[in-house]
Amino acid sequence: MRPRIMEIGGRYNWSGQPERLIYLGKNWSGNGDWHQFALVSDPDKVWCELLDSDLGSIEETKPVDQHRIDLPPPAPRKAKKDKSISPRQERKQRKAAKRAQQREGQ
């Protein structure tokens, strides 16, 4: 990142890391200017400070939809047989058909 394009309140993260940061701005300390960042979960507390030379380690957080991985569409499902009768009714019908066959055989 370049300091000129960073916005106070902007969302950033370490490259390849899960921590999401909010840019608080640049602050002068006894040993130089430091870019201050807070965690998104605790925006009122400075979580880390970076020098200009360290800004290459962070990137602007992309919106969620840009992180989405495009997967191939799911395979079409086979149509299920329309069962209008319950399994219990189906068993009863098989038993009745079996009895009918037995009667015919006598």
| CA distance from start to end of the chain | 92
Any bridge partners for residue 27, and if so which?
Answer: 34
pLDDT in tens, 13-40: 888 887 889 999 988 877 888 999 999 8
pLDDT the model gives residue 106 = 64
Task: Scan for tokens 């038993």, then name that residue.
Answer: 95
pTM above 0.75, yes or no: no
Give the pLDDT of residue 78: 66
CA–CA dist 75, 51 (Å, integer): 51
Q: What is the pLDDT of residues 56-89, one digit of tens each?
A: 888 888 766 545 556 666 667 666 665 577 788 8
From the list 26, 81, 80, the residue with the least C-alpha distance to 54 is 26
Decide if 56 contacts 2 (C-beta within 8 A).
Answer: no
